[in-house]
Amino acid sequence: MKLKKIKEILQAEVLVGEEKDLEVDVTNACGADLISDILADTKKNAVLLTGLTHRQIIQTASMSEFAAIVFVRGKFPAQDVIELARENGLPLLRTEYPLYESCGLLYEAGLKGNERDKKRIEKRNGEEQITGAMRLVYDVYGGDFDRAGKATEQAKKVLKQLGVNPSSMRRASIAAYEAEMNIVIHAYKGKLIFNITPSYIEIIAEDEGPGIEDVELAMKEGFSTAPERVRELGFGAGMGLPNMKKFSDVFEINSVVGKGTKVKMIVNL
């Protein structure tokens, strides 16, 4: 289904994108107002329907390689969000329909997705190995939501330039993004480190912060200590650590109360 058809079905207004951008083929859709749900979605060529309009939704959608975003419930993003989407080449649309109705209308119109597409994508793109090794180090600061996600975004660009296969790159990006956001939400400051080798990507997130009192409890889906103001942004659903583990081949976490937390993840290529 063309994006322009989705625009017609939802009677949507185009905020970012030209006529040629509306010709993109969309085969799936994701409707969510939680960042963790959006990151966990594995669809390709998908349109994201959401009521979240802050800058991080652009970072999240770009990280997960969505084809476009449709803001529901008549939501209108701020100008800086629109400009960020334009910089990322991400079409933005806006509809008055609520989330549930928007998803229903698209499903009824035939946008049902295809499980075979997912399997084909997982098997395509020959495992082209990168050569040499590289280390990337980024500083991350607690409470800095304006720059949250930038470190992962920059690292992803490097992975693309190195020719990392799309499946491994996406897994590494999601794991790293969750780790970066955990530092922004819970710590004072920290570092996000990427060690890129010909056979795997090692991601290390270490922070200075309050630490985790009960790591086993923190690993349970849905457990969260995020404040309400963070939850209002769509974060803090208690899926950060579980998603890091889900998208990694190796996952290790060590935390000292009153000192900080260190997470190591490895994604095989």
The residues spanned by each domain of the chain are 3-123, 134-268
* pLDDT at position 7 over 80: yes
Fold of 3-123: 3.40.1390
Torsion of CA 209, 214, 219, 222, to 10 degrees: -90
- As a whole number, mean pLDDT of residues 47-53 equals 94
Residue 117 confidence (pLDDT): 45
State the Cα–Cα distance between residues 6 and 52, nearest whole angstrom. Answer: 19
Global confidence as pTM: 0.62
State the Cα–Cα distance between residues 89 and 91, nearest whole angstrom. Answer: 6
Residue 238 confidence (pLDDT): 76
State the Cα–Cα distance between residues 52 and 175, nearest whole angstrom. Answer: 21
To which H or E segment does residue 18 belong? none
State the Cα–Cα distance between residues 22 and 14, nearest whole angstrom. Answer: 9
The model's confidence at residue 84, banded by pLDDT at 50, 70 and 90, is very high
Residue 42 confidence (pLDDT): 67
- As a whole number, mean pLDDT of residues 246-254 equals 95
- 50: phi then psi, degrees, rounded to nearest 5: -155, 160
8 A C-beta contact, residue 267 and residue 249: yes
Residue 45 confidence (pLDDT): 83
- As a whole number, mean pLDDT of residues 240-244 equals 91
* pLDDT at position 27 over 70: yes
Residue 113 confidence (pLDDT): 64
The model's confidence at residue 25, banded by pLDDT at 50, 70 and 90, is very high
Residue 185's identity, in one-letter code, is: I
The model's confidence at residue 122, banded by pLDDT at 50, 70 and 90, is very low
Residue 132 confidence (pLDDT): 56
**Mean pLDDT estimate for the chain:** 87
- As a whole number, mean pLDDT of residues 60-74 equals 90
Residue 223 confidence (pLDDT): 87
Angle between helices 166-186 and 55-63 (to 10 degrees): 150
Tell me: domain 134-268, CATH 3.30.565.10, correct?
Answer: yes
Residue 190 confidence (pLDDT): 96
How far is the CA of 212 from the CAs of 13, 219, 244, in angstroms? 45, 10, 16
Q: In sequence order, which ranges of 95-135 are alpha helices (DSSP H)?
A: 99-108, 115-123
- As a whole number, mean pLDDT of residues 158-184 equals 92
The model's confidence at residue 237, banded by pLDDT at 50, 70 and 90, is confident
At residue 83, the 3 state secondary structure works out as helix
Residue 118 confidence (pLDDT): 45
Residue 114 confidence (pLDDT): 55
8 Cβ partners below 8 Å, 6+ apart? none
